[in-house]
Amino acid sequence: MRSQHFPPSKSFSCGLDATLRVLAGKWKPLILYGLYQRGAVRYGELKRAVQGVSEKVLIQQLKELQSDGIVSREDFKEIPPRVEYALSPRGQTLAQALIPLCDWGNENMEEVARVLAERTGWHKNDLG
């Protein structure tokens, strides 16, 4: 189905292009989903939720999501420092849009794992 809406900016080819630019990077969708599931959390809890991300990348991607108005950061100005991250209202709507993708992944996880394993085998054969 083709959308009748024209992009508000010539810098995007369509709405999906704009969405993917906000979600650019391996970790941003997982950060959003983690915040969606848990609500406002401290950095350490978010890091545990997004398994495998380095501290440097998590901090960088949180700053980008904050800059894009997707994530809010609340500094409680306490000693020791306490900061919480949460989804903004816009971030909530974006996270909700990811739910069908999560469902698809859950429903097709075994098949995706099989196909990716086959693809890895193809690449090894090309190199050998």
In a domain, 27, yes or no: yes
In a domain, 108, yes or no: no
Q: State pLDDT tens for residues 46-103.
A: 999 999 999 999 999 999 999 999 999 999 999 988 999 999 999 999 999 999 999 9
Supply the CATH number for residue 65's domain: 1.10.10.10
Query: How many domains is the chain partitioned into structurally?
Result: 1
Q: State pLDDT tens for residues 107-128.
A: 999 999 999 998 877 655 555 5
Quote the Cα angle for 119-122-124, to 5°. Answer: 115
Q: Which helix (H) or strand (E) holds 75?
A: strand 71-75
Q: Which helix (H) or strand (E) holds 84?
A: strand 83-87
How far apart are alpha carbons 27 and 49 in whole angstroms? 11
Range 13-22 average pLDDT: 89
Asked if residue 81 lies in contact with residue 75, where contact means CB atoms within 8 angstroms, the answer is yes
Q: Which helix (H) or strand (E) holds 73?
A: strand 71-75
Containing domain of residue 45, as a range? 15-98
In a domain, 8, yes or no: no
What is each CA distance from 63 to 19, 38, 40, 45, 105, in whole angstroms?
Answer: 17, 19, 16, 17, 27
pLDDT at 32 (0 to 100) = 96
Asked if residue 35 lies in contact with residue 95, where contact means CB atoms within 8 angstroms, the answer is yes
Asked if residue 116 lies in contact with residue 47, where contact means CB atoms within 8 angstroms, the answer is no
